[in-house]
Chains A and B, each alone.
Chain A
Amino acid sequence: MRIRFTKEQQEFRQEVSAFLEAETPPERRTIYGEFSEEKYWFGRALARKLAGKGWLTVGWPKEYGGGGKTFIEQSILDEQIGYHRVQRVGLTGLNFAGPAIMKFGSEEQKSRFLPPIARGEVEYCQGFTEPNAGSDLASLEMQARRDGDSYVLNGSKMFTSYYAHADYIYLLARTDPHAPKHRGISLFIVEMSAPGVSTRPLPYINGEVAAQTFFDDVRAPASALVGEENRGWYHAMTTLDYERAGLERYARVRRAFDDFVDFCRGSHYDGKPLSHDPVVRRKLAILKVGYGGLGLALLEGGVDAEPRPGSQRGGVHSLSLRHTAEVEIRPRGHGDTRPTGDPHPPVRACPPPGSHRRSQQGEPAPARRGHHGDTPQHHRPAGLGTPPVAAYGLRLHPSPGDAETLGP
């Protein structure tokens, strides 16, 4: 046992961090509620640059256009993308559809689908959930009826994230209505442009837009089937484990937390830094412990080379969702008081060389920015209001001198 990154992994992490920091201007970063088309296409362009450096699929085997490294390197990339608030693109292809094709796909499917994913040139979405099949996914009703050398798809999928830019939908449908429910499901990759596919936009509260995706006599060639017919449930469970182990969401939330900790250092209440308040200290410390455990659990979950259905990683995923709610959504929800007309979140200055914090005990404490020596500085651009702290039990009072920056 040795729970820390290797020296090479640490170097890789710093290299990726420096690259993303340099490549991502503040106005292209996405934080909660600030999704935009421009940011999406910025993310697409950046993905191609990452592919050019051999990083986009650093953890994929070389034969599929990957870097031949491990899950850890792939996680480092995910983590840095999240931490730098780059709009996520291509996630479904890179983390679920790609691995599933590698594992269960035919040679023809591998050579057709994998290289464009590795080059950052395609977008996939995921069609699993249905109106009546959420937690109980195996009760899904969408039909895929074999008809000659194609399948005919009928039904609808709910919450199709990333649908608007997707070239393909990676989906589950019922191929044997008579079999026990887990044993009559198959996995397909279908073109979103196929006749009969239509969508009803379903905007999320975070500014992104998903859809309900309808299939009305959609014909998919037999070659759209991935893996064995009626084994789709088992194939899919394998890839859900990849989804759950991803570090990107974790890092996005971790970034919000780190920024919030900086805010607590730099802001005052009744003349004292918030970070001296025992209630604030306790809450921040407990969250920090939570992140430590969560980050390690995510890494441990993915290091396991062959994720198994029914492993504990579902729990890890819920943990990550809970943290998203606690740190990103909740505090920002509390009276985000940025004056109208200031579209940009606080983004810290580029870290000076050598200022990256060492990760402790292998816990992914993402490479940081904005600390000069040991004295944390509070860089808040003029016009930025008071980040919310009320979630942590305090009324807000920005530091002295901020009164002017709050003005028009």
Chain B
Amino acid sequence: MDFAFTQAQEMLRRSARDFLESNCPTAVVRELEAKGVPYSADLWRRVADMGWLGVALPEEHGGSGDIMDQMVLAEEIGRALLPSPLLTSAVTCGRLLLLAGDPSQRAALLPPLIRGQSVMSLALEEPGARSPLKHPSTTALRHGEGYLINGVKAFVPYASSADVFICAVRSEDPQGITLALVESNSPGVAVTPVKSIANFPQALVKFDNVAVGEEKVLGGAGKGRAPLVEALEWATIVQCGEMVGRGQKILEMVVDYSKSRVQFGRPIGAFQAIQHQCADLQVAVDAARLLTYRAASNLRDGLPSSQEIAMAKAAANEMSRLSTVAGHGIYAGVSYTLEHDMRLYSARNMLAEAGMGAAARHVDAIAGMMGL
């Protein structure tokens, strides 16, 4: 058993932190928010140039290797609140291309994705009544040599920035899921941005008789569920990493503040009520971090990891919630003003808690795996 990162990974962390502290301070996050711009094109390009988009993808496609490097970066990204389509584009869609794409699809799409030249987004959720992982109601019906796609996808992240969607649809096989590559400028695609918190861009995407060729299907018609589940597991664990990084940052912030804010003639950190909140958060951050690392290392080694991932996300959600409560509780009045940074962290906490399955879903999954 080895809990340590390699020396190279420690260096990666150091350089990522330095880069983000100088180039993505909260002032930059605020500026983007004020302009209503979802992410900085300049930062995105520089992040891509440093190779961050391909860290968990194989070298043959321009990537560099290991999910543990990805975890290091995820923590730093979460800590810095870096806004970018990295999670949906590089992690989720990158993994889907790798798992389900044929050699020519991979060769065509992965290199520009890794270089940050093209942005992809997964169009999965639907405003319908059912879990899209069970039965998407968006359809792809045979039409000549290809398919016609019809339906509505909801909560599509970074949809307005995406060049290509991977759209989860139902084709002939009513039980299966088909993954179709749809260029965002195809006739019949309509993107409607949806108001969200934390400057997080989401949209409703309508597909109205959108024609795609046979070669746009990833991994064969009706064969998309398994790669989809696996890619979402990768995305979940990367998101857990971001949550852990953000939780750690909040912890450091409130501990610092507790040492400097004086009331009743003492630093508030001298009061047991504050001490316990800090200590509880420290324990929660560490637990979520270790569960996340375990799940990531299992994923990397191709071991069964569904339960580990569910446990990591459930723990990260609880920790995240706790960090919001402790952050606003300890900073008190000032944290409810726009000029204070705490709201930037707590809004992103909330989004992450809802993303990739809120706690109850993971808890349910864990209970199921316990044979209950």
Given A333-B347, A402-B127, decide whether A210 and B337 contact each other with a Cβ distance below 8 A. Answer: yes
A336 x B195 contact (CB < 8 A): yes
B190 x A408 contact (CB < 8 A): yes
Q: Judge if A352 is at the interface, Cβ distance under 8 Å.
A: no
B337 x A339 contact (CB < 8 A): no
Q: Judge if A132 is at the interface, Cβ distance under 8 Å.
A: yes
A135 x B264 contact (CB < 8 A): yes
Q: Judge if B194 is at the interface, Cβ distance under 8 Å.
A: yes
For chain B, the count of residues having a C-beta within 8 Å of the partner chain is 46
Q: Judge if B61 is at the interface, Cβ distance under 8 Å.
A: no
State which size class the interface on A falls in. 35 or more
B152 x A335 contact (CB < 8 A): no
A335 x B333 contact (CB < 8 A): no
A263-302 interface (Cβ within 8 A of B): 268-271, 279
Given A279-B360, A338-B195, A392-B360, decide whether A397 and B338 contact each other with a Cβ distance below 8 A. Answer: no
Q: Judge if B263 is at the interface, Cβ distance under 8 Å.
A: yes
Given A337-B195, A340-B195, A394-B360, decide whether A400 and B128 contact each other with a Cβ distance below 8 A. Answer: yes
Chain B interface mostly helix, strand, loop or mixed? Answer: mixed
Complex Cα gap A189–B250 (Å): 40
Q: Interface stretch among A20-28, A47-55, A198-206?
A: A198-206
A277 (CB) vs chain B CBs: closest residue? B360
Complex Cα gap A159–B363 (Å): 40
Point out the residues of chain B lying under 8 angstroms from A337, CB to CB: 154-155, 194-196, 202
Complex Cα gap A386–B126 (Å): 11
Count: A-B pairs, CB below 8 Å: 134
Complex Cα gap A75–B265 (Å): 37
Given A136-B263, A390-B353, decide whether A403 and B360 contact each other with a Cβ distance below 8 A. Answer: no
B197 x A335 contact (CB < 8 A): yes
B177-211 interface (Cβ within 8 A of A): 190, 192-197, 202, 204, 206
Q: Judge if B262 is at the interface, Cβ distance under 8 Å.
A: yes
A330 x B350 contact (CB < 8 A): yes
Q: Judge if B131 is at the interface, Cβ distance under 8 Å.
A: yes
B262 CB, min distance to chain A CBs, angstroms: 7
B343 x A205 contact (CB < 8 A): yes
Point out the residues of chain A lying under 8 angstroms from B347, CB to CB: 333
A330-354 interface (Cβ within 8 A of B): 330, 333-340, 342
Complex Cα gap A320–B115 (Å): 51
Q: Judge if B357 is at the interface, Cβ distance under 8 Å.
A: yes
B337 x A205 contact (CB < 8 A): yes
B44 CB, min distance to chain A CBs, angstroms: 23
Complex Cα gap A406–B358 (Å): 22
B319-370 interface (Cβ within 8 A of A): 325, 328, 332-333, 336-339, 343, 346-347, 350-351, 353-354, 357-361, 363
Point out the residues of chain A lying under 8 angstroms from B128, CB to CB: 397-398, 400, 403
**Binary flags per residue of B268-289, CB closer than 8 Å to A gives 1, else 0:** 0000000000000000000000
Binding site for A on B (CB under 8 A): 125-131, 134, 152, 154-155, 190, 192-197, 202, 204, 206, 262-265, 325, 328, 332-333, 336-339, 343, 346-347, 350-351, 353-354, 357-361, 363
| 11 A-B residue pairs with CB within 8 Å | A205-B338, A330-B350, A335-B202, A336-B196, A336-B197, A385-B194, A393-B360, A395-B358, A406-B152, A406-B204, A407-B204
Q: Using A139-B263, A337-B194 as known contacts, list a sample of 8 further A-B pairs with CB atoms less than 8 Å apart, ordered by residue number in A.
A: A136-B264, A268-B129, A340-B195, A397-B126, A399-B129, A400-B129, A406-B152, A407-B204
- Sorted nearest first, the 10 A-B pairs with minimum C-beta distance are A393-B360, A390-B354, A136-B263, A333-B350, A203-B338, A268-B129, A408-B192, A340-B195, A406-B127, A136-B264
